[in-house]
Structure 1
Amino acid sequence: MEKPHFRAALLHPRYWFTWTLFGIWYLVAQLPYRWQIAMGRTLGGLMLRFADDRRQIAERNLALCFPELSPVERVQLLQRNFASNGIALMEAGMAWFRSPRWLRRRFTIEGLEHLQEPQSQGQGVVLMAMHFTTLEMGAAFMSMSHSVDGMYRPHKNPVYDYMQRKGRERHSEESNVLQRKDVRGMLRALQRGRAVWYAPDQDYGIKQGVFAPLFGVPAATVTGTSRFARVGRAKVVPYTVTRLEDKGIYQVKVFPAIDEIPSGDEYQDAVQVNQFVEARMRENPSQYMWVHRRFKTRPEGEESFYPPRKKRRKKRKK
């Protein structure tokens, strides 16, 4: 995709409120780091109290994945997790609006050689990410450390879409953006030896996936990781980003390539992906995005784990 360009249409009055919110977000992002963390925690507490749907989803996920915890322990984990989700909103502002100099002081990175080595030999890399609440900061840190192409889903609000892309792409002029549905574009990038960001840890249905165990629960798991590695002749290299609040920094860790992928068996590859993801979730459960319906697709005959979505009322035409 071409780089985002400002258009006069984005100044239409119907977008003024969005611009105002971004102005406030920009100003908040300039506040001292610890102030923003405190604000994020407060926001997370409000979400826990008033976002009933998301709270119920997170509660169900934690019950499924951590049955060994007592009810009190799960409540405590839920509270920490919602605080982390609130902080994530602050972190998106930091990633998009703070200076590169400020951001560089906020992270350490280890294992970058695992990403560099295959590319030095002309081989592409599926940079396997996971949906932790540090996602936006992690994307910024990786882009500042290495040229990475990203998968992207356009936002319905064109102002938000423009600002999101500007914020994400400003850290590397060499990086390209690929629409999430642009499978051919991703394969071409991998075949050219590029590193492409890809997160396979959410439920995208079973049409392009298989049921593979996650915490012992059958979970719809996309087989894209396996196919991209096979057709793109690429290595699968995972990475994580951990928020170290007491130190005010983030730890980026790039892991060795998962050489077992592709194995020729997409189910076994999906099992490998889920085993790796589960291990990282167990290491840092409070910072994972449990508010998503990770187990929404069920095998035939199984009931949904989650309460039905509330239907939005349609506006009456005058």
Structure 2
Amino acid sequence: MITLFRALAVLPLPLLHGIGGLLGWIAFIASPAYRRRFAANARQAGYRLGEVLGAVAAAGRLLAETPRLWFGAPPRVLWSGAELIDAARARGHGIVFLTPHLGCFEVTAQGYAGRYGPITVLYRPARKAWLRPLVDRARLRPNLIAAPTTLAGVKQMLKALKAGQAVGLLPDQVPPDGLGVWTPFFGQPAYTMTLSARLAAQTGAEVLLAWGERLGWGRGFRIHLRAWPGTMPAQPEAAAAAVNTQMEALIRECPSQYLWGYARYKQPRKGAA
């Protein structure tokens, strides 16, 4: 698999995105379960299927661009709102980046690592043994540090924030049972992590919202940054609800690049906490 990914990594980004768009539609047509979940999630957010069909190809492009991002030359990255990072760093604060499953979330961490320095990202180790060497090798990027979804990984993130560094989370990812609360996401209860609020509260880090827009015709990516409005609530339930509200706002900026097929409302895994 590593050899295959290395071979794909040398292909031009426009070609990879073209292939990925086709793969996205093949998966959509071939899987009734995927189509139903895609349509149901979009409908829950108030969108008709025709309004978000662009997300079908976007899901395939996310898959096809992965070899380039993991093993290839860094893509072209533009920035919108980078002054928010500059200000936080000037104040000597760590930064907690919150990014939904929108656009290219891999490039947000890589873009920060390439421009500013170390960032620790939370990731779930591959469940299949044959995938682990590929994923572990892919995470070895300059200034990009991977923290597993374990207690040791949380301690690793706390240490990074206390040192004034950055961490990145996907807060719309369903956490293991015991590590979240049920709170509305687009009006439907979804199990939501409380880790982001705890990290900010324990370290005094600043919270920034981020997502990576996939530019058309393989022209690269644009990282969009938004300030967290006001103060993060202290109570876990209120903080999780506030995080979901902010993730919804980011998704509405570009619903055609959100992973509507993600099983956001599933039950959390038991016994993993």
Q: CA deviation at 1:188?
A: 2.1
Q: Give the TM-score taking structure 1 as reference length.
A: 0.75
Amino acid at match of 1:270: A
Q: CA deviation at 1:270?
A: 1.8
Q: CA deviation at 1:87?
A: 0.6
Q: Is 2:27 aligned against 1:47?
A: yes
CA distance in 2, matches of 1:145, 1:160: 29
Show the counterpart of 1:265. Answer: 235
Q: CA deviation at 1:158?
A: 5.2
Show the counterpart of 1:108. Answer: 78
Q: Is 2:104 aligned against 1:129?
A: no
Question: 1:128·1:198 contact (CA, 8 Å) conserved in 2?
Answer: yes
Q: Is 2:68 aligned against 1:94?
A: yes
Q: Give the TM-score taking structure 2 as reference length.
A: 0.87
| Structure with bigger gyration radius | 1
Q: How does 1:1-318 map to 2 (within 5 A)?
A: 19=1, 22-66=2-46, 69=47, 73-75=48-50, 77=52, 79-100=53-74, 103=75, 106-147=76-117, 148-157=119-128, 160-172=131-143, 175-181=144-150, 182-204=153-175, 207-246=178-217, 248-261=219-232, 263-297=233-267
Is the partner of 2:227 in helix, strand or coil? coil
Ranges in structure 1 where 5+ consecutive residues have no aligned partner: 1-18, 299-318
Ranges in structure 2 where 5+ consecutive residues have no aligned partner: 269-273
Task: Give the RMSD, CA atoms, in angstroms.
Answer: 2.3
Q: Percent identity?
A: 26
Change (3 A) 1:237 1:245: same
Question: 1:29·1:90 contact (CA, 8 Å) conserved in 2?
Answer: no
Q: CA deviation at 1:48?
A: 0.6
Amino acid at match of 1:90: A
Amino acid at match of 2:56: F
Change (3 A) 1:205 1:63: farther
Question: 1:241·1:253 contact (CA, 8 Å) conserved in 2?
Answer: yes
Q: CA deviation at 1:159?
A: 5.6
User: Which has the higher relative contact order, 1 or 2, with Cα contacts under 8 A spaced 6 or more apart?
Assistant: 2
**Greater mean deviation of Cα atoms: 159-168 or 234-243:** 159-168
Show the counterpart of 2:271. Answer: none
CA distance in 2, matches of 1:183, 1:31: 36
